Amino acid sequence: MAIGGEIAGDGNVAAVRTAFALLCKYWESNDQVPRVGTQLESWLRQTGEFGEVNVHKVIAPVGNTSSEPAAAAAASMAQNLVQQEGSVSSKCKPLGLTFTNSFRRSFSAETHPGLLALGFTPELKGQCTEEMNASEWRMDLPLYLVWAQKFA
């Protein structure tokens, strides 16, 4: 599973969007590919090692909503995402909750100097925390589920 694409959504969370953009910029500055999901299929095919490559894009809803299941239930349900047939995207709400909780925790942790240098200031961090805990908001996080089979 990989993240990919741009995050789209609803709600007035400009600081959260800015923080996510800065995080992606930080990863890129360390030669990481934050939106690797959009490129996985072509990368796997280019290796010439795989006879079959399947990529399925789903959307995990990330945000502040009032009727979310507990994080433990989310983790166990997320584990079953690729094992169950049918509409995978309908099962992504618990996975989205896991990402939401992880994103929230990242604002309470000490800020990495690299993020500070890119503009993730204590003020922006405070705005993010405030926005995330304020009124309801939602962002769609594109995820890519990949299954590939090597040539025999």
pLDDT tens column, 125-145: 999 888 888 767 778 888 888
Residue 114 carries which DSSP code? H
According to the model, what pLDDT value does residue 6 have?
55
In this prediction, residues 64-87 reach a mean pLDDT of 44
Identify whether the C-beta of residue 93 lies closer than 8 Å to the C-beta of residue 80. Answer: no
According to the model, what pLDDT value does residue 152 have?
78
CA 60, CA 24: separation in Å to the nearest integer? 18
The strand pairing partners of 16, in sequence order, are none
Domain positions in the chain? 2-150
According to the model, what pLDDT value does residue 8 have?
56
According to the model, what pLDDT value does residue 62 have?
82
Share the mean pLDDT of the chain.
77
Which stretches of 25-136 are assigned E, i.e. beta strand? 50-64
What is the pTM (predicted TM-score) of this model? 0.68
Reported confidence tier of residue 76, pLDDT bands at 50, 70, 90: very low
According to the model, what pLDDT value does residue 117 have?
93
Residue 111 carries which DSSP code? P
Q: How far is CA 80 from the centre of its chain?
A: 18
Please say if the pLDDT value at position 72 is more than 80.
no
According to the model, what pLDDT value does residue 67 have?
42
Share of the chain above pLDDT 90, in %: 26
Please say if the pLDDT value at position 69 is more than 50.
no
Q: Using only C-alpha atoms, what is the Rg of the chain?
A: 17
